[in-house]
Amino acid sequence: MPLSSRHKVTVEWGDCDPAGIVYYPSYFRWCDQASHRLFLAAGVTHNDTRGGQWTEGTPLVAAECSFKRASQPGERLLVESHVSRFGRSSFTISHVFRDASGAVAAEGSETRIWAKKAGDARSLKAVPIPADVRKRLGG
């Protein structure tokens, strides 16, 4: 069974568009935050900047979100996240946003790679996901 992470977000006024519903980039920000929480729950250090510059991490290569119903300011959404697919150097994290009744408000996913870089951004190379990281994330 894959490791999962759950936390709540409160929809704030600034998360919404002029119609008073969640503006789509807010979901992508919440997905990114949920991925970070999943890594923390797994005890995985990623995007290490201790040396002053990022040398190994999990850059995002694809993201999508499907909106099932409008959410509005004051609502609390439960975000459930887990790794739903592992490749050699890539993995997909699935996110489900539920309202107080348990109904799905949105579903998102992020595909990330395990990568290293030795210089500027052009030196970025996908590398195999370390076995201990794969195991900690439930693979």
Tokens representing 96? Answer: 């489900």
pLDDT, tens digit, for every residue of 2-60? 799 999 999 999 999 999 999 999 999 999 999 999 999 999 876 665 566 678 889 99
Residue 3 per-residue DSSP state: -
How far, in Å, CA of 3 to CA of 86, rounded? 13
Q: For 27-80, give the DSSP string.
A: HHHHHHHHHHHHHHHHT---S--TTSS--EE--EEEEEEEE-S---TT-EEEEE
Q: What is the torsion angle, in degrees rounded to the nearest 10, for the CA atoms of residue 40, residue 43, residue 48 and residue 49?
A: 60
pLDDT at residue 122, rounded to an integer: 84
Residue 22 per-residue DSSP state: B
CATH architecture of the domain covering 4-136: Roll (3.10)
pLDDT at residue 30, rounded to an integer: 98
Residue 110: is its pLDDT beyond 90? yes
**Residue 135 CB neighbour total at 10 angstroms:** 12
Residue 85: is its pLDDT beyond 70? yes
Label residue 139 by pLDDT band (50, 70, 90): confident
Give residue limits of the domains in the chain: 4-136
The burial class, CB within 10 Å (0-12 / 13-18 / 19+), for 93 is buried
Label residue 1 by pLDDT band (50, 70, 90): low
Sheet with 115-116, edge to edge strand ranges: 56-57, 115-116, 125-126
Residue 13 per-residue DSSP state: G
